[in-house]
Structure 1
């Protein structure tokens, strides 16, 4: 006996999972249910309200608030880095100690960004607040135009030029369970990193 599948309301992938509240829409993952909830909640009628008294409806997923932090943007065509606001989506519960997910994909249209965690600053000193560097590996590999903002903070002395967009977030501590606001005070450690990168 095969299971009856339905398309996910978000991506169309076949699934057997449905919204437990209304049981009339399907999702392939909890993330897709969470992401579609702002739209779906307007039409989500609990099954017991629709005349099904024997069904116990579970409440909808709790809305998780996005967290905003200041990050540094090194745009390839700009001469200086600048501070931007980045939204971070919580993952898991606070007790699980999972770091929120920065929503930076819009800055990287060519590919999914890679990340580097910088834990040492000038002269190899440990950073009390590690830096989370997001970059496009394809831009580095294919020799896109040199990032002028990074070229400027390294005075053009880097062993290998950085290309493409770079975004830097600052962890709120060495356990890396969240972010705090990045600032221009983080530029010396970044400059040292970009100078040493090969």
Structure 2
């Protein structure tokens, strides 16, 4: 988290430093919900909602909320399978955090193929402690993309489905799938079994 972006502002009512603001207009700073309520008769004349959802809120529901923090990108290791190469390779993928960590929303990778599959079982149907997130393009074959040589190699050409185009695999950091951890060569057996079984 970038602590430099947690800039304190003076509370509109008492001038105490605060990082919370009126969640409706996001222009007035308050050190507590009580101070926002106390200042509401005056503030409501200048409080213009920043979006339609905020406009529908009732004044008595207004609270002082922390201002959003500019979160830095998160880099994790992922496996890349390409049509051009015989072996997968480990790459670094930049992910943008979504929401806050307490909301449990998984980061969103930047510049990834459009579709995903979440692999929760490994060899012999055993549950994976760290599920794998497979990103691929479902229309790669229709676009004339070549068969993915790296996947062809780890399945010894026995996969029922010809995987085409690039495939990127990220690894969740736990069964709740709220974030990613580094993927690596230890994940190849489960992926190979999946690519073989996929129809």
Q: If you compute each CA radius of gyration, which structure gives the higher value, 1 or 2?
A: 2
* Pair 1:117–1:195, CA change in 2 (3 A): same
TM-score (norm 1): 0.66
Is the counterpart of residue 75 in structure 1 residue 76 in structure 2?
A: no
Unaligned runs of at least 5 residues, structure 1? 1-17, 22-26, 30-57
* Pair 1:140–1:197, CA change in 2 (3 A): farther
Unaligned runs of at least 5 residues, structure 2? 1-24, 29-49, 53-64
Query: Per the alignment, in what secondary structure is the counterpart of residue 188 of structure 2?
Result: helix
Query: Per the alignment, in what secondary structure is the counterpart of residue 139 of structure 2?
Result: helix
Distance 1:127 1:102 in 2: 21
Distance 1:153 1:188 in 2: 9
* Pair 1:59–1:99, CA change in 2 (3 A): closer
Shift of 1:20: 5.3
Distance 2:170 2:121 in 1: 15
Shift of 1:61: 4.3
From 56, 59, 70, give the equivalent of 1:63: 70
TM-score (norm 2): 0.65
**RMSD of aligned alpha carbons:** 2.4
